[in-house]
A and B are shown apart, each in its own frame.
Chain A
Amino acid sequence: AQSVTQLDSQVPVFEEAPVELRCNYSSSVSVYLFWYVQYPNQGLQLLLKYLSGSTLVKGINGFEAEFNKSQTSFHLRKPSVHISDTAEYFCAVSWGDYKLSFGAGTTVTVRA
């Protein structure tokens, strides 16, 4: 069965420190990969996506992610976080159709 695993449910981090959120998915021939952010009581906002091409993808708000086909991973990183980055982050995968499968989410809490 196809699955998306976010390895960390909660990530506390100090302001201006780097953060990495891990995402692994079950293997397939072709995948489209996404990271979304959700602020409290709001919908989801797209941070970045990988469809094809360069495996290093840059997104909004200073985030980037790297697609690693051999490890079936799509980890999200930011070199220096701000208090405003406190939110829920979801990794999502599409296996060539219109549907998105979401990971369980990672709660990032940035402390001063």
Chain B
Amino acid sequence: GAVVSQHPSWVICKSGTSVKIECRSLDFQATTMFWYRQFPKQSLMLMATSNEGSKATYEQGVEKDKFLINHASLTLSTLTVTSAHPEDSSFYICSAQGQGVTDTQYFGPGTRLTVL
């Protein structure tokens, strides 16, 4: 099946710094990529949807200036958490989807962010 990678898998940073997380579709072109946030023992909450070459669409309540998303190519999307604070600590998961609305979303392994 299709493979989606994320890098890094685990990051610790100091409060006030910025962290960039990469999401790559390794063997297919992803027209659309999604970023989710998952708190411990909870479900996934969609943060934003990004399409290659256009601005991301953020879900209600998600600060677009804090969570910067760039989808520069059909195989790469990045999420930058700017001026991170301890409350931003979470598990961030991306997914990638092909061109059709019924195409399966393939999920990356996730990135554990801990802000000290």
Complex partner residue of A99 from B4, B43, B49, B106, CB under 8 angstroms: B49
B109 an interface residue at 8 Å Cβ cutoff?
yes
* Contact stretch, chosen from B65-73, B77-85, B97-105: B97-105
- Count of A interface residues, CB-CB < 8 Å: 24
- Distance between Cα atoms of A42 and B109 in the complex (Å): 5
Chain A residues whose CB sits within 8 angstroms of the CB of B44 once the complex forms: 44, 90, 102
* CB closest residue in chain A, given B101: A98
- Count of B interface residues, CB-CB < 8 Å: 24
Cβ contact within 8 Å between B43 and A49: no
Map CB proximity to B onto A69-112 as digits: 1 under 8 Å, 0 otherwise.
Answer: 00000000000000000000010001011111111110100000
Complex partner residue of A96 from B41, B101, B110, B112, CB under 8 angstroms: B101
- Distance between Cα atoms of A49 and B107 in the complex (Å): 15
Task: Given A36-B107, A41-B112, A105-B43, decide whether A98 and B49 contact each other with a Cβ distance below 8 A.
Answer: yes
Task: Given A41-B110, A41-B112, A98-B97, decide whether A46 and B104 contact each other with a Cβ distance below 8 A.
Answer: yes
Chain A nearest CB, measured from B62 CB (Å)? 13
Chain A residues whose CB sits within 8 angstroms of the CB of B42 once the complex forms: 104-105
- Distance between Cα atoms of A103 and B44 in the complex (Å): 8
B19 an interface residue at 8 Å Cβ cutoff?
no
Chain A residues whose CB sits within 8 angstroms of the CB of B49 once the complex forms: 98-99
* CB closest residue in chain B, given A32: B102
Chain B residues whose CB sits within 8 angstroms of the CB of A51 once the complex forms: 102
Query: What residues of chain A have their CB less than 8 Å away from a CB belonging to chain B?
Result: 32, 34, 36, 41-46, 49, 51, 90, 94, 96-105, 107
Query: What residues of chain B have their CB less than 8 Å away from a CB belonging to chain A?
Result: 1, 4, 6, 32, 34, 41-44, 46, 49, 93, 95, 97, 101-102, 104-110, 112
